[in-house]
Chain A
Amino acid sequence: MVGPTATLTPLSRADGSASYRCPSTGSNILGSVNAPVELPARRDALRPEDATVEVFVKPGTAPGGVGERYIENVIKNMLAKLILGREKGYARRGVVITLATIGGESVGRGDSYLTLLPALIHTALLALLSAAVPLSMTFSATVLAVNASGEITREPSEKEAAAATSLHALAFSSKGHLLLNESQGAFDFDTWEKVHARALAICHGTLTRTSDGDVAMAEDVDGQPLEGTVRETVEDKLHQDYAWKTDAP
């Protein structure tokens, strides 16, 4: 299976940006982060000691609608918990995250964003890292489809998602906590537990305890764990940026 590819800082004007492409769902997202910025005339300053996180999602072909408001809210609630909004220089300021769909299927009225959600939050995470926004942890996410015979498909295409009985988008923190779960369609809890185990394996690999108690991430049928992909993207970028220093004799 072909893994996702990502580029850090493709945009030069924004504080941080990332583009992310997932070949199996066909989604291609470009995200930018501006932080910390002064928000003009903030009337909703409910928590003055904290930073305000704002998320904008732009669909591919249509103007944004109620579906985008909903998914913006979900991403915002998830990220607001991870962004350390009380660090120096962040209180009373804003973290503005803009995510634009530049490829893949568009989402119609009343359709869910579940297939796009992992790509959206991965883009947001990489853009936040690129903007050096303080975060309490990183995460990785995936979407799984369960069909009528109970088979689990990883990152389904639009067609597979339409045929599925239930769709599940899950995000795990770098420490293995379940950060986000969005499931829809009819399923029972046993199915969900299987989905949860599979998603954990996709994001973190199969955990193998070595004799000295260390936990190592190993590759399995799902290829490289997504957590590693996110890490490597950032490492590559850092290596590139510091090439002048590290490669110097």
Chain B
Amino acid sequence: MAQAAASAAQSAAPSLSLPPSQFARLQPHAYLLAHLSPPPATNQPSIRANGRAPSQFRVTSANTGSLTHTNGSAVVRLGDTTAVCGVRAEILHTEDIASWSVSRSTESSSAPTNKRRKLTDPTTKPNERIDSKDEDDNESHIQDFNLLVPNLSLSTGCAPGFIPGAPPSTLAQSLSHQILTLLHSTRLVRAEDLRIWYQPPNLGPEDLECHNENEQMDVDASQEDEKNKEIKAFWVLYIDVMIVSLAGNPFDAAWAAVLAALRDTKLPRAWWDVDNEMVVCSDAVSEARKLTLRGLPVSSSFCVFEADAASGWRAVVIPDAEEEKELDDSARKGNQRRWILADPDGYEEGLTQERICVVVDKEQGGKGKTVIQKLEKVGGWTADAKELKALVDISAQRWEDVRRILNEQC
């Protein structure tokens, strides 16, 4: 018995071939390159080491409403990268905002004229009216009073490089910032959803007069009400993202989680109680309302893998951009070849420097044209206008997939 085992070990020992997993660790660049450029004789397709095609994203799944103590939450899985996002709403009284009285005096002069224009122009379509409301100068409330507070945490033991409990790494900080700027620049959350109003009871005698008058008078009365209406507080949304497991591409996962969580967020009905001088919220779930988000911006990230491992430092002659334009992808040979990989995993991220992030949205719920909300490219000179155009098209397809995945939840 023991002899048999010993002879088996002896026959296995002299083998000099390495299992693929060891080759991947020892020569990561050559390993990925061998997958992407198989010898022409074998007739194998060019495929990434993780089995995906270059423009294929990982399997994505979303699950909303898992955390009961939040106003909205979501878990998004992008392959092995998992992001948990919770949105918690807290009340910010306007009297606690130092600059409130200053900013209100400037806005009260312009706001009524805005409203009057809207009311007296019956020809505008309902859609446009919403748009003109969007252009309200009050939209700056979100940015001025910091009503959206996203934070991303990587100190969860998500990957070996990140020590649990350590202060936020540079990556975590820049991801938090990216989420915040994207929330601001896409104007995803409407400021109107976050306002808590106080409507003082109309006790004046003119109220009785215009009760049974014609429509024009009615409009005047509502205008009068609008004037007396007062913002007493704001909802502040604390958006916390925990990357539970990190295997590359944290931004796409985090942004998808933020998006799914905001779609899931319900705010209780809140009003100003004059007698107690405080904001009171309703217990009833039926009275809580969801946020009405503007569009559905979906982010897709890409990286560029270059065949030449030393392209960054070896003194090679880099061709002019003009010459390179004429060079087709199929005509590239040897070290000039490169591949643009969608949704890179951790292994691929370690081998690439050039990153591209595209955030797209489609007008009118997917029927309109593609709108780019963010286009970021840094760390190399491979992707030029032609490549970026192709990536925008891929991102538009990805938008459809993500919308389907998110809609299955809600």
Contact = CB atoms under 8 A, between A and B. Distances in A.
B184 A77 contact: no
Interface of A: 50, 66-67, 69-70, 72-74, 77-78, 80-81, 84-87, 109-112, 136-137, 173, 175-189, 192-193, 196, 207, 215
B338 to A, nearest CB: 13
B294 to A, nearest CB: 10
Contacts of B355: 77
Given A66-B177, A188-B369, A189-B370, 14 more contacts: A66-B174, A66-B180, A69-B174, A70-B173, A77-B355, A77-B378, A78-B379, A84-B315, A173-B321, A175-B319, A175-B321, A182-B377, A183-B375, A185-B373
B126 interface: no
B173 A69 contact: yes
Interface in B179-237: 180-186
B372 A189 contact: yes
B320 A176 contact: yes
Contact of B392 (A66, A186, A189): A189
A32 B354 CA distance: 25
Interface residues of B, number: 48
Contacts of A207: 322
B388 to A, nearest CB: 8
B378 A74 contact: yes
Contacts of B186: 186
Q: Provide the main secondary structure of the chain B interface.
A: mixed
Contacts of B177: 66-67, 69-70, 110
B146 A109 contact: yes
The interface centre, meaning the residue of B177, B318, B324, B385 with most chain A CB atoms within 10 A of its CB, is B177
Interface of B: 143, 146, 170-171, 173-174, 176-178, 180-186, 312-313, 315, 318-322, 324, 353-355, 361, 369-381, 383-385, 388-389, 392
Contacts of A192: 372, 375, 388
27 contacts: A66-B176, A69-B173, A70-B173, A73-B171, A80-B379, A81-B353, A86-B313, A110-B181, A111-B184, A173-B321, A173-B381, A175-B320, A176-B320, A178-B381, A178-B383, A180-B378, A181-B375, A181-B388, A182-B377, A183-B374, A184-B374, A185-B185, A186-B361, A186-B373, A188-B370, A192-B388, A215-B322
Contacts of A187: 371-372
Contacts of A111: 181, 184
A169 B179 CA distance: 19
B307 to A, nearest CB: 16
Contacts of B185: 112, 184-185
A237 B310 CA distance: 33
Contact of A176 (B312, B322, B373, B377): B322
